[in-house]
Structure 1
Amino acid sequence: MAQALNNIGIIGGSGMLGRAISLALLGAGARDLWLSNRSGRAAEFDARPEVTITADNQALVAASEVVILSLPPAQMQGFTVDARGKLVISVMAGISAAQIAAATGSNRVICAMSSPAAEFGLAYSPWWPSAGVTEADRTRVTAIFEACGKTDALPDQSQLAIFTALTGPVPGFVAFFAECMAAYAKGQGVPEATAERAVRQLFLSAGQMLEAGPQSAAEHVQGMVDYAGTTAAGLLAMHESRIAEDIAAGLDAAVARTRQMGEG
């Protein structure tokens, strides 16, 4: 796996997402990692001899076997590099493989979604390959995103917009639900620090239990309902409310915004 992580360049490598992927790759043993940004400097990488920082995107491309594009989507307008013969991976929301190919000249394009949780090895990074992507490329992109957390190939490029809304905004929507629960406790007179600590621990433990066990989220919910305890009373009340429809509406809005960004 370590060899698959060598000779990678990240354009936008010191931004929030690019930095997180960089740290994940370095933690997994990457060597010859190039990062580009506008200043050509990134002080936190100064002590890493395996990292080269540049302001020259084309120099990064020339030095790399794999190029990861981690720019804000708005910066794709007018962006070009010559990456012919390179594997190009985009983690930019809403930008299509056709747009990436036009901007880079590469016919080996992978569109993906990741999140800043990559820094901790906790990102979920689905990806979709264009027709020119080889089996070796598939193996390599899997290794890259496994260094960041978990990953899957998708059957349809359009599904990436769903994951931009679903798993990209870390902690995003989950933090909003935690905020609501903490606000409820504080409204009942619980001290703020206690409410925040309790809710953080709840979401930490729930995430680990969901990840580690064989049960789906729906099976966990049904198990609590079947137990017929205090949680069941709350879950049944939520089932009778509009909460599921409202969550879907929020996700729809995020997906729609992702697709609009690609059109701009």
Structure 2
Amino acid sequence: MFDAPTIGIIGGSGWLGRSIAQALLDKAFIPPEALVLSNRSGRHPLTGVRRSQVTLTCDNQALVERCEVIILAVRPEQFAEVEIFAENRLVISLMAGVPLAEVMALTGSRQVIRAMANAAAQIGKSYTPWLAAQAVSDPQKAFAQRLFETFGGADQIFSEGHLNYLTALVGTGPAYPALLARSLLEHALGVGLPAAIARRAVNAVVVDASQLIGPGYSVDELLQTLISYRGVTAAGLEAMIAGGFDKTIKAGLDSAASVASAMGPFVHSADTQEGPMTR
């Protein structure tokens, strides 16, 4: 079984690595003595009384030797500097655009999962799609799903192309809502609203009101309901749509997905659990 392994996070002081480490402890997913973090600074990234029981190292290979599960939470351009040999260990890569084949080649592990968490892990709201190499066992997959659920929701997918697309869609975390919020805020300030009022109003629209999506309404149902009133909201929505809102959003996703797909070489379908790869 694969129930209580020791987990190591390389890049454990970064935004994502630190958030995941904190979630693993806060949810009691593993005891603190079963968590090892590595970073280049040597500074401890965690808070709370249990942090003293978490092992901290600057030696990535030393982390590997102590752990059954290795989480790579470094930037893609830093991957070559990691220099680990992790044969017979489950390696979970959170690096955008780095294919399974490349992770396997540079870590020596055939048991590799690619996952795309995002910054919302900090508040337990990341959506994390993940893709398993063929050698990953069913118990390891079940373990990975539980691990990802400590900081949000997760789904297994079966195409590297789909994971690259989801990197562009959900790997961005709060970036797209933040861009919308900035446009709304700039407009509100432009008409003379006090800054504090404008910020609270924009937060109410982007963060609070958007929570209506899902529990009681689908996106289409909500939009059609609001447009059908033929009032202020309808006027705003119809002007945005006519101005190319949909086209702009889709062009942005196309551009981001293209970058994600181009970051590493194409991976043959034999390296994944099932299904052909797409670009």
Q: TM-score with structure 2 length normalisation?
A: 0.87
How much has 1:45 moved relative to structure 2? 5.0
Q: Is the 8 A contact 1:69 1:89 kept in 2?
A: yes
**Greater CA deviation, 244-253 or 224-233?**
224-233
Runs of 4+ in 1 over 6 A off after TM superposition: none
How much has 1:15 moved relative to structure 2? 0.9
What amino acid maps onto 1:228 in structure 2? R
Of 159, 164, 167, 1:164 maps to: 167
Gaps of 5+ in 1: none
Distance 2:81 2:12 in 1: 19
How much has 1:141 moved relative to structure 2? 0.7
How many residue pairs are counted as aligned between the two chains?
Answer: 260
Report the identity percentage: 41
Q: Is the 8 A contact 1:6 1:33 kept in 2?
A: no
How much has 1:78 moved relative to structure 2? 5.1
Distance 1:203 1:33 in 2: 36
How much has 1:170 moved relative to structure 2? 2.6
Secondary structure of the residue aligned to 2:109 is coil
Q: Which residue number in structure 1 is paired with residue 269 of structure 2?
A: none
Q: Aligned pair in 2 of structure 1 residues 43, 133: CA closer, same or farther (>3 Å)? A: closer
Secondary structure of the residue aligned to 2:88 is coil
Q: Which residue number in structure 2 is paired with residue 56 of structure 1?
A: 59
Q: Is the 8 A contact 1:8 1:64 kept in 2?
A: yes
Distance 1:256 1:239 in 2: 24
Q: Deviations over 1:116-156 (max 9, x none)?
A: 21121011111011111111011111111100101111121
Distance 1:256 1:83 in 2: 30
What amino acid maps onto 2:36 in structure 1? W
Secondary structure of the residue aligned to 1:49 is helix
Q: Is the 8 A contact 1:13 1:70 kept in 2?
A: yes
What amino acid maps onto 2:59 in structure 1? D
Distance 1:96 1:166 in 2: 17
Distance 2:4 2:178 in 1: 32
Q: Is the 8 A contact 2:18 2:45 kept in 1?
A: no
Of 33, 36, 48, 1:34 maps to: 36
Q: Which residue number in structure 1 is paired with residue 108 of structure 2?
A: 105
**Greater CA deviation, 122-131 or 162-171?**
162-171
Q: Aligned pair in 2 of structure 1 residues 45, 191: CA closer, same or farther (>3 Å)? A: closer
What amino acid maps onto 2:86 in structure 1? A
Distance 1:252 1:14 in 2: 31
Q: Which residue number in structure 2 is paired with residue 140 of structure 1?
A: 143
Q: How does 1:186-225 map to 2 (within 5 A)?
A: 186-211=189-214, 213-225=215-227
Verify: 1:72 aligned to 2:71, yes or no. no
How much has 1:214 moved relative to structure 2? 4.3
What amino acid maps onto 2:39 in structure 1? N
Gaps of 5+ in 2: 266-279
Q: Aligned pair in 2 of structure 1 residues 226, 24: CA closer, same or farther (>3 Å)? A: same
How much has 1:226 moved relative to structure 2? 2.2
> Pairwise CA RMSD of aligned residues?
1.9
Secondary structure of the residue aligned to 2:155 is strand
Q: TM-score with structure 1 length normalisation?
A: 0.92
